[in-house]
Amino acid sequence: MQRKLRLALVGCGAISEWHRMSLKQVPEIEITAAVDIDRAHAETAAKESGATVFTSLEAALASDTFDAVDVMLPHHLHEAAAVQCFDAGKHVLIEKPMAPTLDAGKRILTAARNAPTVFMVAENAQYWPEIVIARDLITAGKIGDVITAHVHFFFPPLAAFYGGEQPWRMSKQLTGGGICIDAGSHYIRPLRMWLGEIDAVVAAMEHPYRRMEGDSLVRALFRFRSGQVASFDVMITEAPIARQDVFRITGSKGEILIGADEIGFGRMQVVLYDATHPKGIRVGDDVPRGYLLSYEGELRDFANAALHGSAPAAGPEFSLGELRTALAMERSTQTKQWEMVWA
C-alpha cells in the first residue's frame, strides 16, 4: 500500500504559502513538484521540500513525478488544468470555486466522473475548527431548533492576495465576480453545514473597494429549504475595522456566538448561551483552533481519499452550492427580487 501521496503544487502564489505551511503537518503528503509560469514563485514553493520546478503544467505532467495535483490557479484557469490532470490520471484537489461558471463546473465534474481518480474541491471552511465546534453543539441540541443565523465579516485587502500592480483578483473576468464568488464561499459553507441547503437569495452588491471590478460589498438574505432565513454581510475595505462577531446562530433554547478579538485569521471565541449559562460559556478552548488549521483538515482528507479510498467530508458536487449561491446573489442585484439557487 502506498504510504505517501506525491503532490504537485500547480500555481505557487499567495494561497500556496498557506497550503505549504499546512502540509508540514500532513505527513501523508510529499511535495514533489512545484508548477508556476513565474519560475521564481515555483522555486520559492519548492525550496523547503526539494520539489522539482516546472514552468508549465504540460512539462510537469510529462515528468510523471507526482500522483496528485493541488490546483491553486486563477479561477478562469481551473477547467483546463483540471481536465489535463484527469486525462493524465492524477488525483485533483482544486481551490474554490471549482470554476467561475456553472457550465465550466459541470464540464469539470464530467471529466472527474470519467477519470479513475479522486476529485475534491478545497473549501477549507468544512474543516474550520470553530465551525465544526458550532456544528457539533447544534447536533447535540445545545441551542434547540435553529431559528436563524447571521454572518458578518469585513476584512482588509491582504497585500499577498490583493497587492501588486495587476492582481488577478481585481479582474471580474478572471475571478468570475468579486468577493462573493471568491472569499464569500468560506462564509456560505458554514451556513449550509448548520442550516442545510439554501433555496433562494435576495441580495445587494456594492463596490466600495474601487480597485476591484467585481463586488466588494455583499448584503443578502438566504432562505433555506427548511424555511429558515439567515443574513449574510461580507465586505473588503481599506478602512480600520472593529472587533467582529463573525457568526451568530440563534436557536429555540439559546445562541452560539463565534467572534474574534482582533482582525486576522487566528483563534476565535466560541461562546454558548443557554439556560444553564445565560451570560455565556466559552466552548472548545481545550482544542486547537484557528482558521489556518482548516487547511490541514482539507489536505489530510484529500490524502486519505487518494491513498485509502475514503469519502471526503463533502463531495465536489456539494461545492457547487457556494458557486450557485454567489451567482444567484449576482442575479438578484439585477432583478431586485428573490432568486432560486438550484433552478
178/212 Cα distance (integer angstroms): 7
| 163: number of Cβ within 10 Å | 10
Sign of the alpha-carbon dihedral angle for 134, 136, 139, 143: negative
pLDDT of residue 1: 53
Burial (CB count within 10 angstroms: exposed 0-12, middle 13-18, buried 19+), residue 148? middle
331/340 Cα distance (integer angstroms): 9
Q: What is the DSSP letter of 21?
A: H
279/271 Cα distance (integer angstroms): 9
Q: Residues 114-173: pLDDT tens digits?
A: 999 999 999 999 999 999 999 999 999 999 999 999 999 999 999 999 998 889 999 999
pLDDT of residue 48: 86
Conformational region of residue 112, where left means phi above 0, alpha means psi within -120 to 50, and beta covers everything else:
alpha
pLDDT of residue 343: 84
Conformational region of residue 227, where left means phi above 0, alpha means psi within -120 to 50, and beta covers everything else:
left
Query: Whole-structure pTM over 0.85, yes or no?
Result: yes
pLDDT of residue 336: 97
Look up cell 428573490; give the residue. 338
255-270: string of b/e by CB count within 10 Å (b at 16+)? bbbbbbeeeeeebbbb
CA triplet 91, 96, 97: central angle to 5 degrees? Answer: 115
DSSP H helices in 100-234? 102-113, 129-139, 159-162, 172-175, 185-195
134/190 Cα distance (integer angstroms): 9
Distance of alpha carbon 269 from its chain centroid, rounded? 21
pLDDT of residue 267: 84
Ranges of the chain whose pLDDT falls below 50: none
pLDDT of residue 261: 63
Range 50-57, long-range pairs (CB < 8 A, 24+ positions): 51/8, 51/9, 57/10, 57/81, 57/84, 57/85
CB 195 within 8 A of CB 247: no
Domains and CATH numbers, the chain: 5-117 (3.40.50.720), 126-293+324-340 (3.30.360.10)
62/174 Cα distance (integer angstroms): 27
The Cα-based distances of 299 to 107, 142, 184, 215, 245 in angstroms read 24, 30, 21, 29, 28
CB 149 within 8 A of CB 195: yes
Q: Which amino acid is at 99?
A: A
